[in-house]
Amino acid sequence: MKTLAIVFRKEMREILRDRRTLIAIGLAALATPTVLVIVSQVSTQTATQTYTVGYNGEIPTGLDILLAATALTL
Amino acid sequence: MKSAAVKVDRLEKALGKNQVLRGISLEAGSGEIFGLLGPNGAGKTTTLRIVCTLLAPDAGSVEVLGFDTRTAPEEVRRRVGVVTADIGVYPRLSARENIAYFAELSGVLDGELERRVDTVLERLDMVPFANQRAESLSSGQRQKVAIARAIVHDPEVLMFDEPTSNLDVLASREIRNFMVESRDRGKCVIFSTHVLHDAERLCDRVTILHEGTVVATGPTAEVRGSHRDLEDAFLELVEK
């Protein structure tokens, strides 16, 4: 257990002194929330968007229920 | 030879399909510089790796100060320090931190750690660059770090595997002086090299390996025999 602690301390010290590793950690820390925000905004937009479709012919029974469930208007 | 510190008995080792050691036996004593000589591929490094417990032998045995490398590897490691040509110090740690790290791993107690590290730094004249990161040190300075970390736990057996192969004349001389000093302090110094001129100057006794077997062993002068130098004797032995 003591050996593990000694090795862990040394590894951390080395990592914290490596500029490239620090830059990679910093970029990951910035990029991860940015990507999450973009993905959540796009999915919200997609979920609330209303679509209008055209239909020719007699409307079958139950189509109005289906359209209401999928946010489509006729 | 004084009492044997390292005893290698009928050692055999294959690496893949390559039979590297074919039953070699040798003894290195305390208070002597023992030369392990031979061309590249003779089995010098494999022998040293088995002695310091990095490799297990296929057959035969190795004892370091009475401890068998297979049954008591921890005891062996505590008594052995190794310096290789491939320096391998941690570049982002300072010289002091590199040495302290190995001291901690070797079981040097916390209360004694700083004193031991300071002693080694002073002994090897490393104080001026002790707090510099290893990546900014010269090859000679980095080799000193490698030596310092090998001796910080005060081992009784020191093994040098081609320690001067990447160093300039000045740094090489310092390493040689250090080996002599260690011998004078009663340590068993094993010096593996293919530079026979160095071996001839430094070693009290030598063993010459060729293709995994011992082709000559004994006091340096005896192995040289009537030849002009050790290199001539060596060439005759390996060309037989």
Percent of chain A with pLDDT over 70: 95
Poorest-confidence range of B30-34, B98-102, B105-109?
A: B105-109
Q: Mean pLDDT throughout A13-30? A: 91
Share of chain B above pLDDT 70, in %: 98
- Write the DSSP symbol of residue A70: T
Could you tell me the pLDDT band of residue B160, with boundaries at 50, 70 and 90? very high
Per-residue pLDDT reduced to its tens digit, B109-122: 888 899 999 999 99
Candidates A1, A4, A6, A8: best to mutate against B (most CBs of B within 10 A) is A6
pLDDT at B2 over 70: no
Picking from B49, B21, B50, B51, the residue whose alpha carbon sits closest to that of residue B209 is B21
The distance of B105 to chain A (nearest Cα, Å) reads 6
Per residue, the 3-state secondary structure of chain B, as one string, reads: CCCEEEEEEEEEEEECCEEEEEEEEEEEECCEEEEEECCCCCCHHHHHHHHCCCCCCCEEEEEECCEECCCCHHHHHHCEEEEECCCCCCCCCEHHHHHHHHHHHCCCCHHHHHHHHHHHHHHCCCHHHCCCEHHHCCHHHHHHHHHHHHHCCCCCEEEEECCCCCCCHHHHHHHHHHHHHHHHCCCEEEEEECCHHHHHHHCCEEEEEECCEEEEEEEHHHHHCCCCCHHHHHHHHHHC
Query: So what's the pLDDT on residue A74?
Result: 66
Model confidence at B1, pLDDT cuts 50, 70, 90, reads low
Q: Is the pLDDT of residue B180 over 90?
A: yes
Cβ–Cβ under 8 Å, residues B59 and B10? yes
- Which residues of B have a CB under 8 Å from any CB of A? 90, 92-93, 97, 101, 104-105, 133
Residue of A2, A12, A17 to mutate, interface with B, max B Cβ within 10 Å: A17
The chain A residue lying nearest B97, using CA atoms, is A10
Residue B174 confidence (pLDDT): 85
Q: Which residues pair with B28 in a beta bridge?
A: B6
Q: Which residue has the higher pLDDT, B175 or B23?
A: B23
Which uninterrupted H or E stretch holds B217?
A: strand B213-219
Q: Are B56 and B70 in contact (CB under 8 A)?
A: yes
ipTM of this complex: 0.71
Of B40 and B8, more confident: B8
Partner B contacted by A22 (CB < 8 A):
no
The Cα–Cα gap between B183 and B179 comes to: 6
Confidence at residue B197, expressed as pLDDT on a 0 to 100 scale: 87
Residue with tokens 């000679």: B140
Contacts of B170 (CB under 8 A, 6+ apart): B140
